[in-house]
């Protein structure tokens, strides 16, 4: 078993050290499509990244059809998690958190797989609910909110699900007013639809399906009415929106620092979506902000975005290349500083 100085399950019980603004903190997000790790140290702005890791593992491949994680998918994830354990072993950690999301929530053998992860790597991811996903995403994206914002729609188009958070500000700290999670993500759609999303009819069918799933949430929170009153910010955190941003900006290669926090005119994002749609699979594989590993997932994600855009026509889109890892790091650091409790929200 790989070992590192602070085991994951000890992170929340470890007492505060004398120097709360020093040392290393790490956060790991095991999702349906990706395994991601972030290591940082506290800074006046929140934290400074000192190491990171991201690998497409497709843990949820075949899950919709079988209800179980497949052996090849688990082996790919184990390889990535072993690489993460090696990175974690290089530094003494003051705090560490690891979470697993939709694939492990849904799979009949999810807990069995996570037990194997703990045995072989020493990492013990905690399965979190959709509401906590939204809370962590909000924690990471809240610096992108502006004083004049009254409300915000925060969406995360994941591999196995899409999370929407409706956020109330009212001049104070962001408050989660409501959340919804729909079991539609880029991996599940790519498997279910095959080549369909590469056709206009199939793309629009997925868009309309997602819009229908979100309609009741819109009605409960009167989001359309709030948008008409103004002061509503739309924030997207996912590979879909960062790809749209890279396309709008015509980047020669993708770099997080060029994209994170950029605010796009929604009409420009619509044009970028059309550009990506016309490329087809081969063109997407050659796109500098997509590549062959993600070519199958871009248009399903764009169909979900198109539904959000259709239902909530906000004129600007704020793009966030940040998510659960950043939210977990902020939680760990603020917990040591005594500003926030280290506990799940669900």
* pLDDT, tens digit, 9 for 90 and up, residues 101-145: 999 999 999 999 999 999 999 999 999 998 999 999 999 999 999
Tell me, yes or no, whether 150 lies in a domain: yes
Distance CA 318, CA 129 (A): 25
CB 238 within 8 A of CB 301: yes
**Same domain for 179 and 291?**
yes
Strands of the 162-168 sheet, one edge to the other? 175-182, 162-168, 151-157, 232-236, 316-319, 263-265
**Same domain for 245 and 313?**
yes
CATH (domain of 233): 3.30.420.150
Mean pLDDT confidence for 20-35: 86
Q: Which pLDDT band holds residue 31 (cuts at 50, 70, 90)?
A: very high
Q: Which of 80, 101, 127 is the last residue of a domain?
A: 127
**Same domain for 274 and 307?**
yes
Which has the closest alpha carbon to 25: 3, 13, 44, 8?
Answer: 8
User: How many domains in the chain?
Assistant: 2
**Same domain for 104 and 157?**
no
**Same domain for 135 and 123?**
no
**Same domain for 135 and 119?**
no
Distance CA 145, CA 149 (A): 7
**Alpha-carbon distances of 86 from 14, 22, 34, 216, 328, rounded to whole Å:** 22, 22, 18, 45, 20
In this prediction, residue 170 carries a pLDDT of 75
Which has the closest alpha carbon to 207: 278, 290, 284, 273?
Answer: 273
* Dihedral pair phi/psi, residue 216, rounded to 5°: -65, -40
- Residue 128: both structure tokens together: 């979190």
Mean pLDDT confidence for 267-288: 95
CB 161 within 8 A of CB 184: yes
In this prediction, residue 339 carries a pLDDT of 55
Distance CA 89, CA 93 (A): 9
CATH (domain of 74): 3.30.420.40
Instruction: Render pLDDT for 229-257 as a digit per residue (tens, 0 to 9).
Output: 999 999 999 899 999 999 999 999 998 88
The single-letter DSSP state of residue 69 is -
**Same domain for 93 and 227?**
no
Q: Which pLDDT band holds residue 54 (cuts at 50, 70, 90)?
A: very high
Q: Which of 105, 127, 149 is the last residue of a domain?
A: 127
Tell me, yes or no, whether 35 lies in a domain: yes
Q: What is the pTM of this model?
A: 0.86
Q: Which of 82, 98, 127 is the last residue of a domain?
A: 127
Tell me, yes or no, whether 42 lies in a domain: yes
Rg of the chain over all Cα atoms, to the nearest angstrom: 20
Q: Write out the residue range of the structural domain in which residue 29 sits.
A: 8-127
Distance CA 337, CA 342 (A): 11
* Dihedral pair phi/psi, residue 342, rounded to 5°: -90, 85
Tell me, yes or no, whether 85 lies in a domain: yes
**Same domain for 89 and 201?**
no
**Same domain for 135 and 239?**
yes
Strand 34-43 with 46-56, pairing: antiparallel
Tell me, yes or no, whether 145 lies in a domain: yes
Tell me, yes or no, whether 333 lies in a domain: no
% of the chain at pLDDT higher than 70: 91
In this prediction, residue 46 carries a pLDDT of 81
Tell me, yes or no, whether 344 lies in a domain: no
In this prediction, residue 9 carries a pLDDT of 37
Residue 10 has pLDDT above 90, yes or no: no
**Same domain for 27 and 81?**
yes
Instruction: Render pLDDT for 168-205 as a digit per residue (tens, 0 to 9).
Output: 997 778 999 999 999 999 999 999 998 999 999 999 99
Tell me, yes or no, whether 255 lies in a domain: yes
Say how many Å lie between the first and final Cα of the chain, rounded.
Answer: 31
**Same domain for 311 and 171?**
yes
Mean pLDDT confidence for 209-222: 97
Beta strands in the chain (DSSP E): 24-30, 34-43, 46-56, 93-100, 126-127, 151-157, 162-168, 175-182, 232-236, 263-265, 316-319
**Same domain for 193 and 296?**
yes
Strands of the 34-43 sheet, one edge to the other? 46-56, 34-43, 24-30, 93-100, 126-127
């Amino acid at each position: 078993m790989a070992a590192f100085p602070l085991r994951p399950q000890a992170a929340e019980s470890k007492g505060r050290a004398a120097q709360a603004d020093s040392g290393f903190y790490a956060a790991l997000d095991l999702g349906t499509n990706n395994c991601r790790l972030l290591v940082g140290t506290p800074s006046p702005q929140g934290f400074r990244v000192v190491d990171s890791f991201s690998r497409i593992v497709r843990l949820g491949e075949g899950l919709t059809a079988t209800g179980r994680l497949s052996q090849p998918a688990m082996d790919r994830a184990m390889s990535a998690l072993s690489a993460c354990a090696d990175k974690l072993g290089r530094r003494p950690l003051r705090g560490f958190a690891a979470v697993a999301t939709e694939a492990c929530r849904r799979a009949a053998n999810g807990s069995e797989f996570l037990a194997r992860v703990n045995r072989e790597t020493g990492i013990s991811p905690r399965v979190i609910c959709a509401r906590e996903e939204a809370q962590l995403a909000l924690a990471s994206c809240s610096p992108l909110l502006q004083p004049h914002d009254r409300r915000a729609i925060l969406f995360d188009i994941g591999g196995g699900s899409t999370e929407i958070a409706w956020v109330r500000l009212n001049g104070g700290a962001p408050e989660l007013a409501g959340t919804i999670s729909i079991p539609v993500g880029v991996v599940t759609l790519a498997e279910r639809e095959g080549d369909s999303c590469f056709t206009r009819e199939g793309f629009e069918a997925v868009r309309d399906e997602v819009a229908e799933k979100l309609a009741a949430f819109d009605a409960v929170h009167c989001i359309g009415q709030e948008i008409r009153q103004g002061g509503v910010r739309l924030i997207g955190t996912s590979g879909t929106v960062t790809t749209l941003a890279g396309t709008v900006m015509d980047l020669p290669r993708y770099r997080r620092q060029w994209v994170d926090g950029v605010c796009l005119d929604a009409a420009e994002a619509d044009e970028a979506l059309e550009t990506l749609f016309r490329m087809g699979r081969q063109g997407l594989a050659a796109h500098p902000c997509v590549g062959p590993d993600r070519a199958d997932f871009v248009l399903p994600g764009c169909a979900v975005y198109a539904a959000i855009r259709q239902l909530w026509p906000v004129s600007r889109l704020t793009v966030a290349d940040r998510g659960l890892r950043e939210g977990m790091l902020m939680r760990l650091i603020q917990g040591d500083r005594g500003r926030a409790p280290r506990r799940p929200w669900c």
